[in-house]
Structures are given as C-alpha cells and as structure tokens.
C-alpha cells in the first residue's frame, strides 16, 4: 500500500523554494533598496507577510529583517539631517556599509539555518 503525500511543515516550500533559500533571499531582498527606492522595504515585508503563518523560521527571520530595515531607515534619516553639520556624510556612508555587511552576514547565517539578529538594530518586533 502506497502512502499519500501529506502536507506537513517539513514539506512547506515558500514560493517553490527550500525554506533556508527563501529565508536567505528574504535577507538579501533588502539590497533591492540600493537599486529601487523602497524596494528594500517592500520586498522583505511581502516575503515575510505571505509566509509567516506557515513557518516559525520565516516569522523569526522576517522580524529580524524588519527590525533592521526600520532601524537603518532611522539611522539614515538622522545622518541625513546631520549633513548640514558635515558629520552626516560619513555617517550615511557608515550606515550603508554596515547595512551591506549585516545583510550579507544575515543571509549566510540564514542559509546555514542560523538566526542572527543584526547587532545594532532596534527591537521593534520581539523574536
């Protein structure tokens, strides 16, 4: 007697890909903000919102990503306001470099199945 395929959580494939790959791409989707205005905000939210109820891992990583997106936006706004005092330019550069590094580290860790909260992110969503 053959077994019927079941729809268990281990077989869940968000957007047709493995869960770790999806989570890695959710972290990397923030990079679209460097190319498309607000893309780095909208795409991770869509990826998280469409799959957060089916997977606790996606929910946790999505919260980490959103915490960083909101935090880095706040840091950029503050740095932009400080441009008049000249200190804003190096701060903006620092936020961009830090964001790039954190996104890559978060994506690598996510692909390895690890949850890595970005170090200087403000915790708006509890993980």
Q: Domain locations in the chain?
A: 16-111
Q: Tell me how long the chain is.
A: 127
Instruction: Determine the pLDDT at residue 12.
Output: 87
pLDDT digits (tens, 9 = 90+) for 52-95: 999 999 999 999 999 999 999 999 999 999 999 999 999 999 99
pLDDT of 1 > 60? The answer is no
Instruction: Determine the pLDDT at residue 11.
Output: 79
How far is Cα 126 from Cα 25, in angstroms, rounded to an integer?
21
pLDDT digits (tens, 9 = 90+) for 90-119: 999 999 999 999 999 999 999 999 999 999
What distances in angstroms separate CA 73 from CA 2, 10, 29, 106, one per listed residue? 53, 35, 15, 18
- For residue 8, name the pLDDT band (cuts at 50, 70, 90): very low
């Amino acid at each position: 007697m053959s077994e019927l395929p079941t729809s268990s959580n281990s077989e869940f494939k968000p957007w047709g890909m493995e869960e770790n790959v999806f989570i890695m791409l959710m972290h990397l989707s923030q990079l679209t903000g460097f190319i498309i205005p607000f893309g780095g905000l909208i795409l991770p939210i869509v990826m998280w919102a469409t799959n957060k109820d089916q997977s606790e891992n996606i929910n946790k990583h999505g919260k980490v990503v959103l915490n960083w997106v909101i935090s880095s936006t706040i840091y950029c706004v503050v740095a932009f306001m400080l441009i008049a005092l000249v200190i804003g330019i190096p701060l903006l550069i620092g936020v961009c470099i830090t964001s790039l590094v954190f996104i890559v580290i978060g994506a690598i860790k996510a692909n390895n199945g690890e949850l890595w909260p970005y170090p200087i992110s403000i915790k708006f969503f509890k993980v």
